């Protein structure tokens, strides 16, 4: 059986490695959270590591995974979480799109994104899921 390859997706001037990463960017935008995509690479004992997102307001790195299968990638993010570079508060890994993480989004939004408790994170998750990127569309719903 062949491996399914992610679809490189353009959004806000970035070429995301996957549509899933682009959906998280839409989620952050819908929340009004500033983000930087693939900000800086780090060397770990497991090899080079390039985080997916950095949220400058809170200092968190957010790693996006489609499924939990890549042990090397997980080892790199766990290593970085225990050896934080200056200015980085923590590293968290999200598996799947924002809507598939709905049960933990409230805590994620407050702790990692720095949003207020009353923000409608559910709407942001639906915005991300419904974003369209085909035929030159920019991801807006």
| CATH code at position 109 | 3.40.1350.10
Q: Is residue 117 part of a domain?
A: yes
More confident position, 117 or 46:
46
- The yes-or-no verdict on residue 117 having pLDDT over 70 is no
Q: Which domain holds residue 13?
A: 9-131
For residue 3, give every residue at least 6 positions away whose Cβ sits within 8 Å of its Cβ, in sequence order, or none: none
Highest mean pLDDT among 73-77, 105-109, 133-137: 105-109
State the pLDDT confidence band at 141, using cuts at 50, 70 and 90: very low
Q: Is residue 25 part of a domain?
A: yes
Between the two ends of the chain, the Cα-to-Cα distance in Å is: 34
More confident position, 95 or 6:
95
State the pLDDT confidence band at 80, using cuts at 50, 70 and 90: confident
Q: Is residue 119 part of a domain?
A: yes
The total number of structural domains in the chain stands at: 1
State the pLDDT confidence band at 72, using cuts at 50, 70 and 90: low
* Rounded CA separation 108/104 (Å): 6
* Rounded CA separation 15/48 (Å): 20
HEC per residue, the chain = CCCCCCCCEEECCEEECCHHHHHHHHHHHHHCCCCEECCCCEEECCEEECCCEEECCCCEEEEEECCCCCHHHHHHHHHHHHCCCCCCCEEEEEECCHHHHHHHHHHHHHHCCCCCCCCCHHHHHHHHHHCCCHHHCCCCC
List pLDDT tens digits, range 54-69.
999 999 999 998 876 6
Q: Is residue 1 part of a domain?
A: no
State the pLDDT confidence band at 26, using cuts at 50, 70 and 90: very high
pLDDT at residue 1, rounded to an integer = 47
Q: Is residue 75 part of a domain?
A: yes
Q: Is residue 53 part of a domain?
A: yes
User: Phi and psi dihedrals of 27, rounded to 5?
Assistant: -60, -50
State the pLDDT confidence band at 7, using cuts at 50, 70 and 90: confident
């Amino acid at each position: 059986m062949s491996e399914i390859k992610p679809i490189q997706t353009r959004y806000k001037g970035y070429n995301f490695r996957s549509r899933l990463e682009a959906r998280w960017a839409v989620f952050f935008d819908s929340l009004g959270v500033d983000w930087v995509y693939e900000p800086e690479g780090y060397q770990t004992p497991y090899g080079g590591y390039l985080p997916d997102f950095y949220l400058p307001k809170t200092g968190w790195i957010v790693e996006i995974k489609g499924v939990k299968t890549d042990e090397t990638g997980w080892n790199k993010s766990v290593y970085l979480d225990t050896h934080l570079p200056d200015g980085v508060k923590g590293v968290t890994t999200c598996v799947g799109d924002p809507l598939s993480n709905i049960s933990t989004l409230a805590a994620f939004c407050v702790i990692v994104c720095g949003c207020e408790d009353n923000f409608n994170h559910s709407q942001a998750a639906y915005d991300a899921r419904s974003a369209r990127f085909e035929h030159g569309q920019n991801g807006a719903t």
